[in-house]
Structures are given as C-alpha cells and as structure tokens.
Structure 1
Amino acid sequence: MTMRVGWAGQERSGALLAGGAVVLVGGSVAASSLVGDYPVLGGQGVRYLLAGLLLAAWSRLRGEPLIRPTGREWGWLGALAAVGLAGCSVLMIQATRVADPGSVGVVIGAAPLVIVLAGALVRRRRPATRLLVAAAVVAAGAAAAQSGSGAGSFSLLGFALSLGALAGAVGTTVLAAPVLPRLGPMTVTVYSCVLAGGLLLVLAVQDGLATGATVLRMPTLVEFGALAYLAVMVTGVVCIAWFGAMQRLGSERTGLFNGLIPVASLAAVLLVGAGQVGAWQLIGALAVLVGVVLGLRRGPVVTATASGPTIAGAVPVGR
C-alpha cells in the first residue's frame, strides 16, 4: 500500500533542516574572515577533527552508538571527506583570497543545477523537468544576487579555485547520498569530519616539511572563537541538518537550497553593516525563493511497511 506524506510531515522538517543549514553557512562569512591569517590546512584540519570528536562524544552520551561502515561505505566516506569537506573549505578560502567573494558566489550558485544533472547521470535517467527548471531558477537567482554585489573583476586562478569549490559543494550532497540510508546523518557526519580533519593535518605537516610553512600556532582569542564556531555550528550542526534533510527530501531537492547560501551571505553582510543590498540582490533572492518552492512542491510517495514508512535517502522523492 502506498500513501502520500504531506508538507506538514517529512517535507516540512526537511525544508527546515536544509534552510537552517543554509542560514548557518551563509552566516559563516564573518567567522571565516576572522581566521584569514591563520594557517589554512592546519586550521581547517583542527576544525573538522574537533567537530567529529565532539559529535562522537555527543552520540555516546545520548546512548546512540555509531554504525560501523562497510568496506565500500568507507570509500564513499573518504571521498566525501576529501572532496565535499576538506577540498571545498580549503578551495573556498583560497578563492576568496585571489578573487572577489561575490564572483566566487556566482560560481557556487550553480550548485543546484549541477546536483540535478549529476544525480540523473549517476542513475542513468533523465532528470525531472520540474527539478531541472527549479535548479536553473535557483542558480540564476544566486548569480544575480552576487553579481549585484559588485562581482566584477575575476582572475583566471580565482575562477579555477571557484570551480573546485563548486565541485566540493556538489560532492557534499552527491557523495553522501549512497551511505545515508543505512548509516544515518550522525554516523556520516562523524566519520567524514574525522577523515577530513586527519587528511588536512597530514597535508599541513607535509607542506610544513616541504616549504617551512607554519602548520599550527596558538590562535588569538578572536581566532579561537571563530574556529570554535566554524567547528561546532558550521561543520557539526550544518552537516547533520543537511544530511537529515537529504533523507527527507532526496539529494536533488535538498541541493536546491544551495542556491540560498549566497543570499544568506548577503543578509549576514547587511546585518553586520559590511555592505548594502540593492535591487539586483532583492531580485536574485526572490528568484531563489521561487525556485526552491517550485522544486519542493510535489510531495514524496512513501511505501508503508510493517515497520512504518520509509524514504530512500539517495533517490529524490516525489517524482
């Protein structure tokens, strides 16, 4: 027997989780700027390792043991850690150092469209027209919001780094999808964060030995606060919320919310008084909102079993 789960159930909680994750990521712009002078590889390594260990301790205190991944799942988790977490964060920081942040946002704003296409390619099927149109609207709106913020000059190196960060943003969703149904958000987050942190610290040590660069140093009070916020809120909480949304909405429809990240960043800039919001930003924000609503309109079809309704985390629901 099949039944349709309404917006008040799985979709509402999924949208709230994805929206909350986007707000935290968008608000991380100010925190990231505070650690601009801190060693990138070492700092980001500590960030992810701290997030993973804190979440593992929290899971243990709650009496919810982590699920042990299988050999194949370790491969997906390793790819998620390297591409979606470590690669994305490092390339994003490097891109904003050599290119205008607004220009970087234009490239990242294409993530929803790429996720829809990638999901279809992985399953060897044609993407749903509604999702494809919604992703295009979200990407266009995010680009408009950022181009109106002064995204003018753009270096070739900055563009290449931005494409790498885009690949990482897409990888966070695409690479987590195969392991989420069995492992769940907490296990996926803990293991991927620990793997990402370990990888970055190893790279930091190798870079230090090769070039003499500083691996880690004692952070200032401001840097410590920013790193702690990035580790706990922007890494731990965001990953759990995002992966939880994927279980409820599917990977492609959750990916639409990526388009809200540049808009949330603009709102954060406005709140701290670091800039102004003009007509293009408002138009872009409206377009993103329309695209997300369009992509989420159709409810998922869930198969009722003896143990209750189940939703496939790797397959976009409601198609």
Structure 2
Amino acid sequence: MTSATATLASPVRPVSRVRGTTLAALGMACVGSSVAVSATIVDAPLFTLQAVRYAIAALILLVTFRLTGRRVPRPRGTEWLWLAAVSVTGLVIFNVAVVRGVDHAEPAVIGVAVAAVPVLLAIVPALVRRRRPPVLLAVGALVVTAGAVLVQGTGRTDAAGVGYAMLALACEAGFTLCALPVLLRLGPAGVSFHSVWMAAAGLAVLGIGTEGARAAGELDLSDAVAALWLAVVVTAVAFLLWYAAVGAIGAGRAGLFTGVVPITAAVGGVALGGEIPGPLVWLGTGVVAAGVALGLRAAADEGA
C-alpha cells in the first residue's frame, strides 16, 4: 500500500474528524478571498506579481520551520515530480486561470467552477484505489456544488471565461490529488514549502521572459497589498490548513469544504464594494452546509 493509499483508506478518529473539518473550512475560507482580490490585479504584470507572492510565502514558511525548531523535509526521487505537479497545476496555472478568467467572466463563474472540485475529490481517489466511490459521499459533493451555484449564480462570461473556469477546476483538483503521494512523509508544511518555492522560481523565469526584468517596478501600492494578502492568507496559511485537513480526514471529505470558496468570494465581493448577497446566496449557503453534513455523515457511516 502506497503512502497516498494509506492516507485515503485509513479510518478517521472522531477527534481527527473534528480537527480536520475545522481546518478544511478555514483553509477554503482563505482561498475564497483570492477570487475577489484577483479581480483587483488584472492589469498588473501577472507572472511577476505571483512570483513576488510565492517568494514571500516561501520565506514565511521557512521562518515557520526555523521558529518551531523543525528541519525542512527533503524530497526523494519521484517526490520531486509530484511536488512539481502540485506547483505547476495548483499554483502557476491555477492563478493564471483565475486572474485571466475574471477578465472574461464575473468572479461568480470562476467560483462556481472551483466549487465543483468536491465531485472530483470524492470520486477520483476511489477510482485510483480501484474501488467504488462512496455513493452518499458523491451525492454530498453534488449537493455542495449545487449550493455553490446558487451562491454565485451563473454570471457573465464568454467562451474564454468558460475555458479559464474549467482550467481552474482541473488545477484546483490537481493541487490536492498530486500532493497525496507525498503528503504523509513530507507533511503539510513540507509540501507547502517545496511547492511554493518551485512556483516562485518558475513564475520569476516566466515574468522576466514575458514581462521584463523591470516589471516589479510597475507594481503599485494596491498590487503590493494584494500580493501580501495572497502570500500570507491565501498561500502560507491556507496551504498549511488545507494539507493538514487532507492528512486528517482524507481528500474526499476535505473536498466537501471547497463549497466554502464561493461563499467567501461573495462576502469578499461585498467587502470590496459589491452588492449585499440576495436570497439565493443565503439559500445556497444552506444547501452547501447540508451537502457537507451529508458527505461527512456518509463518510463516517461507510468508513470512507
């Protein structure tokens, strides 16, 4: 049994379940704030800003290791490939999809696409193990996605916006699934640190090649504030919370909480001057909560 399979298949103790669900909800709340923030940086040099963001996040994670007296775990062999996959899909391409996507579609469209991740995370790990996906867990994931659609609505978009939304969906799922083979040995902090510095290096090269070596000088104060928020809250904090949750309760259960993303995105939109959520948002929030409850209950009953 591989480390990834062991993580997915092992039973979850009640204490771990409570801790894991709390961490997953908090982590996805942090990620949800990125949708609204990304709408403020569509005119900034994308690769350069994201490189700065991930460099700051890597520094924060490195300092965390030092302050806690822990050594940075060193990847071995194919672990480097899995970490590179996490970095490329979940960090580099995902953020390009989100930032470019909100230039073609309302944040709602991107948020709804990301909220469909629970379905993939409920089904794919079981298929990898050549097992039938837990039916009620999959149903709970579908309910979460339906609630997310109610929260965000369909929104304005064009063909490019739909394409970016689907790309964001695939990359968000890859962010979790590609980490499973290395999460048990490297731990949440190790996976987060290595994937983040890889993303910073790759984006710096892309930034210099496409935007020029002086692109960092084009970042204004609002860009810097956005980069700092993305680095601290959406990257360093959210990554540690999310990978700890996946390690505690598994990808399928943790995936249910991606339904928190569009809710947080809607709240973030209000904070940045948007409209107050209407009745459908509150209805969708209730549906998301019901889907999460159903999925978690099903997982406990079926030993998923």
The question of a shared fold, defined as TM-score above 0.5 by the shorter chain, is answered with yes
What is the RMSD of the two structures over their aligned residues, measured on CA atoms? 2.2
Write the distance in 2 (CA, Å) between the matches of 1:280 and 1:232: 31
Alpha-carbon deviation of 1:214?
6.3
Write the distance in 1 (CA, Å) between the matches of 2:155 and 2:268: 21
Aligned to 2:160, what secondary structure does the other structure show? helix
Which structure has the larger Rg? 1
| Identity percentage of aligned residues | 36
Corresponding residue for 1:198? 201
Residues 122-160 of structure 1: CA deviation (Å, up to 9, x unaligned)? 22221011211111101111112111xxx3432111111
Alpha-carbon deviation of 1:104?
2.2
Write the distance in 2 (CA, Å) between the matches of 1:205 and 1:118: 37
Corresponding residue for 1:309? none
Corresponding residue for 1:160? 163
Write the distance in 2 (CA, Å) between the matches of 1:144 and 1:290: 13
Compared CA separation, residues 157 and 198, structure 1 to 2 (3 A): same
Q: Structure 2 counterpart of 1:197, which letter?
A: A
Write the distance in 2 (CA, Å) between the matches of 1:213 and 1:152: 37
Q: Give unmatched runs, 5+ long, in structure 1.
A: 302-316
Alpha-carbon deviation of 1:252?
1.1
Matched, 1:229 2:229: yes
Corresponding residue for 1:246? 246
Q: List aligned pairs for 1:11-30, cutoff 5 A.
A: 11-30=17-36
Write the distance in 2 (CA, Å) between the matches of 1:172 and 1:100: 23
Question: Is the 8 Å Cα contact of residues 102 and 146 (structure 1) preserved in structure 2?
Answer: yes
Alpha-carbon deviation of 1:121?
2.4
Corresponding residue for 1:217? 217
TM-score, structure 2 normalization: 0.90
Residues 77-123 of structure 1: CA deviation (Å, up to 9, x unaligned)? 00000001111111111001111221222222211112222222222
Alpha-carbon deviation of 1:263?
1.1
1:176 to 174, 179, 185: 179
Compared CA separation, residues 39 and 285, structure 1 to 2 (3 A): same
Question: Is the 8 Å Cα contact of residues 105 and 155 (structure 2) preserved in structure 1?
Answer: no
Write the distance in 1 (CA, Å) between the matches of 2:12 and 2:99: 43
Q: Give unmatched runs, 5+ long, in structure 2.
A: 1-9
Aligned to 2:103, what secondary structure does the other structure show? helix
Compared CA separation, residues 43 and 54, structure 1 to 2 (3 A): same
Question: Is the 8 Å Cα contact of residues 5 and 300 (structure 1) preserved in structure 2?
Answer: no
Write the distance in 2 (CA, Å) between the matches of 1:103 and 1:222: 24
Question: Is the 8 Å Cα contact of residues 144 and 280 (structure 1) preserved in structure 2?
Answer: yes
Write the distance in 1 (CA, Å) between the matches of 2:21 and 2:157: 34
Question: Is the 8 Å Cα contact of residues 39 and 214 (structure 1) preserved in structure 2?
Answer: no
Q: Structure 2 counterpart of 1:164, which letter?
A: L
Q: Structure 2 counterpart of 1:5, which letter?
A: R
Q: Structure 2 counterpart of 1:187, which letter?
A: G
Write the distance in 1 (CA, Å) between the matches of 2:231 and 2:72: 20
Write the distance in 2 (CA, Å) between the matches of 1:86 and 1:14: 26
Structure with more of its chain in helix, by fraction: 2
Aligned length: 295
Q: List aligned pairs for 1:1-319, cutoff 5 A.
A: 5-6=13-14, 9-147=15-153, 151-208=154-211, 215-297=215-297, 318-319=303-304
Write the distance in 1 (CA, Å) between the matches of 2:98 and 2:210: 19
Question: Is the 8 Å Cα contact of residues 18 and 242 (structure 1) preserved in structure 2?
Answer: yes
